[in-house]
Amino acid sequence: MIRRRTMLGGALAAPLVAGARDAAAQEVTLRAVSAFQEGTAFSRPFEAFIAKVNEEGRGRIRITFIGGPRAMPPFEQGNALRNGVVDMINATAAFYEPLLPEGAALKLATNDWATVRRNGGAALINRLHNEKVNAQHLARHGDAMPFHLYLTREISGPDLRGLTIRTSPVYRAFFTALGANLVNTAPGEVFTALERGVVQGYGWPAHGIFDLGWHERTKFRVDPPFYRVEVNILVNLRRWNGLNEAQKAVLTSAAEWVEAGEAERSRQAIAADYARMQQAGIRVIEFTGEARERWLKAAQDAGWDEVSRITPQHAAELRRLLSGG
């Protein structure tokens, strides 16, 4: 389709361009889905982004929120975006891993996202999204929040042998290195897996376990936390390229707004959930001293080993930009 259009030269090209310009002058509507359930921790920043765009973009650009995982399964949203079935998604790179395996590096950053924007790392991440997901990377949220391991059984050190843990690609290399058996599920299946005793724990960020009732089945939180959450707001590249400058500016400015509010929002969300966990009787297993070092080192080492295997050509550069001084 695209190839045929570009091969149509001369006479036909002019009306097509004029048509595109007319369309851009009118209000453009983008159809969006979220990999996280509506109203929950990692969907709310996206819903706020949509409200902002719809307010600031009135008459120029509008986002229709189709819904969350019930509208489209989380692991399918990357493909749907790439193929233009939807125009915008809110998803962690872990959920579109088959399209962009290099995304595994994002969570390993020790630099915050503002630093990665300044040092060219975000431009590289965007280029990879352009090439492999057919998408423009607009915003990253969750960046000021780490992940935890949550358990139904007590452990005495950084050793997960004998445990079956719910994972996503985020924790896979790390928990495997510590000997766990893993079950990969979308967030929507965590409660049932816990309820049935299929898993004795799960990886999840520091915030959000109350959203879907997992606290009822959670006995322990393991400290310290590790990594950085990455949830990305992406727009189909062809739709992005078809927008005029004013329309692009509405999306870019809403993206900056989401990222600017991130640190404070995460700080409050984490504090609130830690307090609520304590009230709910969830106990903290805290690794200290040598065990703490071993835990955190295993997280980083396993993560970067995986990235080096996945993308030998980009691993060193990603590490320099995401975690270099």
With contacts defined by CB under 6 A, name the span among 115-123, 157-165, 199-207, 247-255 that binds ligand 173. 199-207
Nearest to 62 by CA among 36, 88, 83: 88
Inter-residue contact 115 to 163 (CB < 8 Å): no
Nearest to 311 by CA among 171, 144, 111, 131: 131
DSSP states of 240-269 as a string? Answer: HHTS-HHHHHHHHHHHHHHHHTHHHHHHHH
200 or 247, CB closer to ligand 173? 200
* DSSP H helices in 66-209: 77-82, 113-118, 121-133, 169-177, 190-195
Element (H, E) at 235: strand 231-236
Binder among 231, 234, 237, 255 for ligand 173 (CB under 6 A): 231
Does the footprint of ligand 173 cover residue 42 (CB under 6 A)? yes
With contacts defined by CB under 6 A, name the span among 22-30, 116-124, 176-184, 201-209 that binds ligand 173. 201-209
Closest distance of CB 91 from ligand 173, Å: 9
Burial of 324 (0-12, 13-18, 19+ CB in 10 A): middle
User: In the structure encoding, which two tokens stand for residue 73, read together?
Assistant: 């399964």
Does the footprint of ligand 173 cover residue 139 (CB under 6 A)? no
Binder among 33, 104, 173, 229 for ligand 173 (CB under 6 A): 229
Contact pattern for ligand 173 over residues 292 through 321, marking x by CB under 6 A: ------------------------------
Closest distance of CB 169 from ligand 173, Å: 7
CA–CA gap between residue 68 and residue 131 (Å, rounded)? 25
Binder among 90, 92, 236, 247 for ligand 173 (CB under 6 A): 92
Closest distance of CB 145 from ligand 173, Å: 8
* DSSP H helices in the chain: 2-7, 10-25, 44-56, 77-82, 113-118, 121-133, 169-177, 190-195, 237-241, 245-260, 262-279, 289-310, 315-323
With contacts defined by CB under 6 A, name the span among 118-126, 172-180, 197-205, 270-278 that binds ligand 173. 197-205
How many residues touch ligand 173 under the rule CB under 6 A: the total is 12
With contacts defined by CB under 6 A, name the span among 57-65, 198-206, 214-222, 275-283 that binds ligand 173. 198-206
Which residues would be at the binding site for ligand 173 (CB under 6 A)? 42, 92, 94, 142, 168, 170, 187, 203-205, 229, 231
